[in-house]
Amino acid sequence: MLASAKVFDALKGIGLNLYERRLWVALLARGTSTAGELSEIANVPRSRSYDVLQSLADKGFLVVQTAKPIRYVAISPEESLERAKKKLEEDSRESRERIDDLKSSPVMRELNDVFSQGLKIVAPEDMTGALKGRYSVFQQTDTMFRDANKNINIVTTPEGLNDLFSNHLDALKKAKERGVDIKIAATGTERCSESIKAFNSIADVKVVDEKEVPVSGKFMVVDGKQMILSLTNSKVHSTQDMAMWSKSEHASGDILDPMFKMIWARSKNC
């Protein structure tokens, strides 16, 4: 192995797949080389090495030398990472522009019609799914807050309060401006803590008396029609965070909403 497992893990963390990691490290060790030479050093099938090396070139990790045979030239790791970062930023900017163009185009009407017609043949209780990864949970939470019309009821933890503040404050403020009633019951936190005070202008916040109500998890209900129930605690890695989302009015309005009201009634004002 040309580099340690720690190096390969770090490269995996920035999005390089196994063959990309092996070939790039091999090229760094050689300086310049052909696909055949690198495939032998990196133990990557030769038939795959050309596509993988081109992928690395597209991402900014190496330079392709138009010779016969084609040779690949390494650049310093610092320069490679800087080029890769700029390429990601450019790709992200272009993707955002394409999405904005699509959102304002006539195509959106057709897409909305397809979605609306599809919903008519799906029972609300079938609109249920597992959310894996904190980012997926945050995305669905934000969508629910933006769609709220009447009320948002939340039971959360100190870590959950921080997540609400960091990731959903704008959506909650806009919901409040629409006249949505927002209630937050916080567990495991001190009364009148700074994190609670941050929500005073947009929500009614209470502290759960855990002697009265021994609960420490997280869930939220929007309009008695949608819910998210956390299935993991805050100690798990963000990629392993799991939650259940459902549009079932039975689960939302008949089970979790009454549970929230019970917790709210036994909680203390700040």
Mean pLDDT along residues 174-193? 86
pLDDT digits (tens, 9 = 90+) for 122-134: 555 556 788 989 8
Q: Is the pLDDT of residue 16 over 80?
A: yes
Q: Identify the pLDDT of residue 152.
A: 97
User: What pLDDT was estimated at residue 198?
Assistant: 79
pLDDT, tens only, 72-111: 999 999 999 999 999 889 989 999 999 998 988 988 887 8
Q: So what's the pLDDT on residue 112?
A: 80
Q: Which pair of structure tokens corresponds to residue 182? A: 């927002």
Predicted confidence band of residue 196 (pLDDT cuts 50, 70, 90): confident
More confident residue, 203 or 109: 203
| DSSP per-residue codes, 122-143 | S-GGG-EEEEESHHHHHHHHHH
Q: What is the pTM of this model?
A: 0.61
- The b/e string for 202-237 (b: 16+ C-beta within 10 A; e otherwise) is bbebbbbeeeebebeebbbbbbbbbbbbbbbebeee
Are the C-beta atoms of residues 170 and 201 closer than 8 Å to each other? no
Element (H, E) at 173: helix 158-177
Mean model confidence pLDDT for the chain: 88
**Other C-beta atoms within 10 Å of 54: how many?**
15
What is the per-residue pLDDT for 234?
Answer: 78
Q: Is the pLDDT of residue 212 over 90?
A: no
Place of tokens 């965070």: 241
For residue 179, the 8-state DSSP code is T
| SS3 state of residue 149 | coil
Cβ-proximal residues to 100 (8 Å cutoff; 6+ apart), any chain: none
What are the DSSP calls for 205-247, one per residue?
Answer: EEEE-TTTS-----EEEETTTEEEEE-S-TTS-GGG-EEEEE-
**Average pLDDT rounded to a whole number, residues 193-217:** 82
- Given this model, what pLDDT does residue 45 score? 95
Decide which of 235 and 96 is more confident: 96
